[in-house]
Amino acid sequence: MKTTRTIIPYLVPLAVWAAATGLARIWLGPLLAPDPWTILKRVWELAASLELFRGLGTTAARGLAGALLANVAGVALGALAGRSPWALRLAGPLVAGIQSCPPIVWITLVMVWAGTGALVPVAAVFAATVPFVFSTTAQGVMGVPERLLAVGRLYGVPRTRTLFKVAAPAVLPYYLAGLSTVLATAWKAAAVAEYMGSPDGAGAAIYWSYSRLNMEDLNAWALSLVALGLLLEALVITPLRGRAARMTAEGA
């Protein structure tokens, strides 16, 4: 019963998509709007040939690589900024500038500097996600109870024990909340960057389908990307947000 309640909300977008596709077919005709069954059949064919998994896997890997780099840089800068008001004043405007800059700017610059390829989506994901990691880490570090740290220093508690028993539990809820946003953003930014500046991946497959006016492939890849997003939402992002909310409530 619980599984059914969990699955049903994710079937609603599929039903809406099928209805919208059917209406578009009536309005635009079968050439521009294939019926849902034709699109699902094409998804199956792409999956059977492994082309679908190669494309989605490439996009997911690039999104993960960019998110990993963003976590390394964001956690380091965020931890420093959370402990030092001077560092926060210095890094804050820089991160805000990165966050306010449209992804197309980073994509275009990397394409000019490095050409098309895997570096374009990785750089786009990094630029799109590092501000979230920085801000949530800095906020978490600023929330670490200073009195407990002072007591630990007074009684000679080892720094590693203070880190894992005091600092980490205070920072982790903020970090998990930011990580869920990073993962929700990473694969979308990677697909957009591939569409503009990469020869492979799901985003590039959508571009080639569009350029050839292959509406079956275009809709099949679009549906597959939406399915990937829903899968990440159900298996990774929602549990992370739930865990962060529970940890925040327990801390309160």
3-state secondary structure the chain: CHHHHHHHHHHHHHHHHHHHHHHHHHHHCCCCCCCHHHHHHHHHHHHHCCHHHHHHHHHHHHHHHHHHHHHHHHHHHHHHHHHCHHHHHHHHHHHHHHHHCCHHHHHHHHHHHHCCCCHHHHHHHHHHHHHHHHHHHHHHHHCCCHHHHHHHHHCCCCHHHHHHHHHHHHHHHHHHHHHHHHHHHHHHHHHHHHHHHCCCCHHHHHHHHHHCCCHHHHHHHHHHHHHHHHHHHHHHHHHHHHHHHHHHHHHC
Q: Is residue 226 part of a domain?
A: yes
Instruction: State what percent of residues in the chain have pLDDT above 70.
Output: 83
Per-residue pLDDT tens for 101-152? 877 888 888 888 877 778 889 999 998 899 889 888 888 877 766 666 565 5
Per the domain annotation, does 2 fall within a domain? no
The pLDDT tens digits for 6-25 are: 666 667 777 787 788 878 77
Residue 75's CB is within 10 A of a number of other CB atoms, namely 21
Q: How many structural domains are present in the chain?
A: 1
Q: Is residue 16 part of a domain?
A: no
For tokens 């670490």, the residue is: 144
User: Could you tell me if residue 91 is inside a domain?
Assistant: yes
**76, 130 contact by CB (below 8 A):** no
Residue 23 lies in a domain: no
Closest CA to 173 of 75, 246, 79, 237: 246
Question: Tell me: the pLDDT tens digits for 188-244?
Answer: 889 999 998 888 899 999 999 999 889 999 999 998 988 888 888 778 777 777 776
Q: What is the CATH number of the domain that holds 228?
A: 1.10.3720.10
- Structure pTM? 0.81
Residue 209 domain-assigned (yes or no): yes
Domain of residue 50, residue span: 31-251
